[in-house]
Amino acid sequence: MQKEFKTLPAVIVLLITLTIWFIIPVPKGVTPEAWHLLALFIGTIAAIIAKVMPIGSIAVIAITLVAITGVTNPDPKIAIKDALSGFSSPLIWLIGIAIIISRSLSKTGLGHRIGYYFISLFGKKTVGVGYSLAVSELVISPVTPSNTARGGGIIHPIMKSIASSFDSPYENKSENKTAKYLALSSYHINPITSAMFITATAPNPLVVKFIADATNLDISITWTQWALAMLLPGLVCIALVPLVINFFFPPDVKETPDAPKFAQDKLEEMGNMSRDEKITISVFGLLLFLWAGVPSMIFGDSFSFNATSVAMLGLSILLVTSVLTWEDVLNEKTAWDTITWFAALVMMASFLNKLGLIKWFSTLIETYISGMGIGWELSVFILVGLYFYAHYFFASTTAHITAMFGAFFAAGLALGAPPYFLAFILAAASSLMMSLTHYATGTSPIVYGSGYVTLKEWWKMGFIMSVVNLSIWTLVGGVWWSMLGYW
């Protein structure tokens, strides 16, 4: 049996934690409790980055240490309640339940049917195949909070099937320019769709929480607000991705007349839409209808529904109709894993905020940038750049967001940035930064591992797309958010 525990990285993480706790003096303006919790928090983040153990195991240890050390409260009874408080967050359960619901996409085959359907319509050219994969991902993204499951588990196999359907004279996969183009196109859509909906990737609810905490609930972004704000810049980016990648890595096969037939054959293989697929697509339609707040728009606030309650309704319908079984729910390890480590990180981040550590750190950042004597516009540019490109040092978007988002958002507010503009640009950056490296998120090693793209090409395209995406979200997004009246 393979060992899950890595001794050397664990020793390094332990030394980091002990150094912060015992050796580095507590800065002026910070309480010892806040500093000790920071030591545990940094140790947890370092353990996640170093992959000392599975992230769920790290989370359990972190919760245990918070309870035992009493960094949040010296009373053991209160300390354990504090340590377990993350499990009471509705946002955590929203993502966990939505991940379970999205299992029906793969179980029923609906996800693949959607992909093959769009390829059958638009796949006559290689660029058209790229757009087909993009539209397929966009359609399923609102109800697939695991961007890895969506990009790596549904879209990537379809892409590989299409790529392998072409006769390739190359012995080395990375020389196959058509497959390279499709791999890059399909991957770089994944961070964009992740930015477009709260429920499109797991860390997005963390962003919502950190924004609400920093503004004392003055800004509590709803599912509809997020989707509407990200709609236009997201669609512009999706429209450009296949063209930008075509410019830098053009496919050697321009016309793909066989691709629609290939997709049509796959659809015929699948047969007519099954009962379970029809129920699944109906449930997804219901979820989007209720998450978008359509009933409350028509009939008033008395017909508004909590997003987590809506997710539970969707899961209940799938269970009652046997589209999913309780065994499916128990076997969805990603969901339970996500709930566990989200609970730990949310708990620690929340108490760092309550104990004043986030305010202290954000003040440091704000003081440094304000000392440059620049306006809020350039200040936000620097903040977003630092936050975004720091992801070169992270292999987990959740760890990155938990470590940095709250402080950077608070610093931006202190520097005079319009709250909603700052919230949306940092929220978008939290997903768009997945484009940078081959380890940036769970989807990237899956696509990179297919062998169609070299490491140099991956990093080159990642940086190019980072500039394109951030520019569009800043310029198009900024104008769009102004038109919507957000700033």
> What tens digit of pLDDT does each residue of 424-481 get?
999 999 999 999 998 888 888 888 888 889 989 999 999 999 999 999 999 999 999 9
Q: Structure pTM?
A: 0.82
Cα angle 297, 216, 287 (rounded to 5 degrees) comes to: 35
The pLDDT tens digits of the residues spanning 334-349 come to: 889 888 988 898 898 8
Kindly indicate the confidence band of residue 119, based on its pLDDT and cuts at 50, 70 and 90: confident
Are 398 and 345 spatial neighbours (Cβ–Cβ below 8 Å)? Answer: yes
- Asked whether the beta carbons of 141 and 194 are under 8 A apart, the reply is yes
Burial of 252 (0-12, 13-18, 19+ CB in 10 A): middle
Judge whether residue 356 has pLDDT over 70: yes
What are the Cα distances from residue 200, in Å, to 137, 227, 356?
10, 10, 31
| Rounded CA separation 197/316 (Å) | 22
User: Are the beta carbons of 190 and 150 closer than 8 angstroms?
Assistant: yes
Task: Say what percent of the chain tops pLDDT 90.
Answer: 56
pLDDT digits (tens, 9 = 90+) for 239-273: 999 999 999 999 887 887 888 888 899 899 999 99
Overall average pLDDT of the 305-330 stretch: 94
**Among the listed ranges 12-16, 82-86, 202-206, 379-383, which one has the minimum average pLDDT value?**
202-206
Question: Are 122 and 304 a contacting pair, CB within 8 Å?
Answer: no
- pLDDT band at 1, cuts 50/70/90? very low
Return the pLDDT at 78: 97
Q: What are the domain boundaries of the chain?
A: 1-83, 91-202+221-331
Cα–Cα distance, 476 to 56 (Å, whole number)? 39
CA terminus-to-terminus distance, the chain: 56
Integer Cα distance of 481 and 486 in angstroms: 5
pLDDT tops 80 at residue 2: no
